[in-house]
Amino acid sequence: MTSPYPILSIVGILIVVLSIAAGLIWLERRLLALWQDRYGPNRVGPFGLLQVLADMLKIFFKEDWIPPFADKYVFILAPAVIVVTVLLSFAVVPVAPGIIVTDLNIGLLFVLAMSSLGVYSVVLGGWSSDNKYALLGAVRAAAQMLSYEVFMGLSLMGVVLLAGSFDLVRIVEAQRHLWFVVPQFLGFVLFLIAGVAETRRLPFDLPEAESELIAGYHSEYSGMKFGMFFVGEYLGVTLISSLITVLFLGGWNGPVLPPIVWFLLKMFAFICLFILLRAALPRPRFDQLMNLGWKLLLPLALANLLVTGAVVLAKGT
Amino acid sequence: MEIVFYIASAIAVAATLLMLTRLNVVHALLYLVISLLAVAIIFYTLGAPFAAALEVIIYAGAIMVLFIFVLMLLNLGEAAVRTEKQWTRPRIWIGPSILAAVLVAEFVYLLTRSQGAGPVAAIGPEAVGISLFGTYLLGVELASMLLLGGLVGAFHLGLRKRTPEKAVEPAQRFTPEVAEPEEVLR
């Protein structure tokens, strides 16, 4: 199943995804303020909505400075990598029947591949800055993202086993009667934790922990290059939320309302959860983060895979 | 598809050559990543999407990141580039070039004699899985045993170095004097 108007789908998804990512800056500030008993930005336009526009104009006119000691070409390349890899991942996300850029039979693997390439952005950004705080942030990011990527992939294999395909459209269609969050609840929780770690959001934002590393891997970045890291992070949040929707919550499936509305509703629920996590949870220590990943979450993901495989095998024969 | 194959191949060859001749080791690794990505596209055009995805996830996405991770910890600077320059004088390229040229000649000779592959059929993930855990089960198990051995070995080496300072609990080493400040809004 491919889209009847491929160019329209590509341009449409690109514009919508980028506007959501930009809008999230406003949403995050307003929601955080709400939960912290403040107002947040509420002066520019209705409900402060135009604050995003004002911030964007400001960041475009900021001085775009490349430190003389930095590795210039790698420094410029790094912020582009994260935006490109996340946007490419959206190519295989089925928003509604017919609204998808390309329907790969290895769609899920493609997303995992792009997410593993996204690590380069943070690592190279920190390395090329030639700044000790940036380097420390990059080292943390590399260790954290490599560790959490391992069980991120494993936690999804239960879904793949149940649906019998890596194809995201077929995974959505397999959930017509029962969302995978029910039989794969453990996989869902594991993927949610891994997703927060992959997007480096609080409580897993140790690579940029501002109370100890200034801003971590993007300490030396300014202007729109910093903006790219920023937008990349929000794009990542949007991507993980839409992946959770597609893989565990039945994607566009739902009664009464049109499919695309269901998809957006579920996606925004998870985006709000991401923001609530930031407002509610403190940051762990780095050794706690590593212990949690390797000693608890990875064995759980393996056990989940084993049990799911046994059940599928028993049912099949 | 054919033109995509040739473009990807050209990129793979060029990136690999550039990787070999770079003096800065991180730049060399970045060219190697490009080369691996091009090889993934070659796999895809040859009808092996599963292999293509694994090439990106494992080689480009995991192994190369580990390489860069180690390089970052070593923190090689200008000095490393200078040593590299001393080591790779033009004279050093003569031997490998002759060997590579012989291989290229043999390869071209074989190519001119071959009939060319038939039409390419795409092989999905199911077919790969069935042959991996059916026909080649023994090979898969042997490879996993080898990897397990490597893992246990690495764990052993890492453990031995850390034993003396293990008396101090990590929590005691990092006890903060002041409470962490509240998260500052960006």
What is the reported pLDDT for B163? 53
Contact A123, B69 (CB under 8 A): yes
* Nearest CB to A113; choose among B61, B65, B71: B61
Q: What angle do CA B182, A41, A228 make, to 5 degrees?
A: 75
Cβ-contact A89, A135 below 8 angstroms: no
Query: Which chain B residues in 129-168 lie under 8 Å from chain A, judged by CB atoms?
Result: none
Q: Do A219 and A133 form a contact (C-beta atoms < 8 A)?
A: yes
Domain ranges of chain A: 65-316
Q: By CA distance, what is B127's nearest residue in A?
A: A165
Mutation test of the interface with chain B: which of A117, A218, A294, choosing the one with the most B Cβ atoms within 10 A? A117
Helices A223-248 and A72-89: crossing angle, nearest 10°?
A: 30
> Within an 8 Å CB–CB cutoff, is residue B73 touching chain A?
yes
Asked if residue A183 lies in contact with residue A161, where contact means CB atoms within 8 angstroms, the answer is no
Cα–Cα dist B52/A105, whole Å: 12
Name A119's Cβ contacts closer than 8 Å, sequence gap at least 6: A141, A142, A145, A146, A149, B61, B65
Contacts of B57 in chain A (CB under 8 A): 109, 112-113, 116, 153
Residues of chain B numbered 84-123 and touching chain A (CB < 8 Å): none
CATH fold of B1-122, please? Four Helix Bundle (Hemerythrin (Met), subunit A) (1.20.120)
User: What does each of the 317 residues of chain A score in pLDDT, given as a tens digit?
Assistant: 455 677 887 888 888 888 888 888 888 888 888 888 888 888 887 887 888 888 888 888 888 888 888 788 888 888 889 999 999 888 888 887 777 777 778 888 888 888 888 888 888 888 888 888 888 888 888 888 888 888 888 888 888 888 888 888 888 888 888 888 888 888 899 999 988 888 888 788 877 777 787 777 888 888 888 888 888 889 999 999 999 998 888 878 878 788 888 888 888 899 999 888 888 888 888 888 888 888 888 999 999 999 988 988 888 76
The helix (H) or strand (E) run that includes residue A128 is helix A119-129
The residue of chain B nearest to residue A109, with distances taken between CA atoms, is B53
**Please, what sign has the CA dihedral across residues B100, B101, B105, B111?**
positive
Q: Taking CB atoms and an 8 Å limit, are B75 and A210 in contact across chains?
A: no
ipTM, two decimals, is 0.81
A23 to A17, A36, A93: CA distances (angstroms): 10, 20, 20
> Which chain B positions have a beta carbon within 8 Å of A29's beta carbon?
185
Token digits of residue A71 = 């590795």
Torsion of CA A201, A207, A213, A216, to 10 degrees: -100
Beta bridge partners of A96: A99
How far is Cα A303 from Cα A183, in angstroms, rounded to an integer? 14
What is the token pair recorded at B167? 């008396």
Tell if the CB–CB gap between A210 and B185 is shorter than 8 Å.
Answer: no
Q: Supply the mean pLDDT for chain B.
A: 79
Q: Is B57 on the interface with A (CB under 8 A)?
A: yes
Compute φ and ψ for A99, nearest 5 degrees.
Answer: -100, 85
Q: What are the pLDDT digits (tens) for B26-64?
A: 888 889 999 999 999 988 888 888 888 888 888 888 888
Look-up: residue for tokens 């690794």?
A: B29
- Flag whether residue B60 sits within 8 Å of chain A, measured between CB atoms: yes
Domain boundaries, chain B: 1-122, 124-159
Per CB-CB distance under 8 Å, the chain A contacts of B49 are 104-106
* pLDDT for residue B169 is more than 80: no
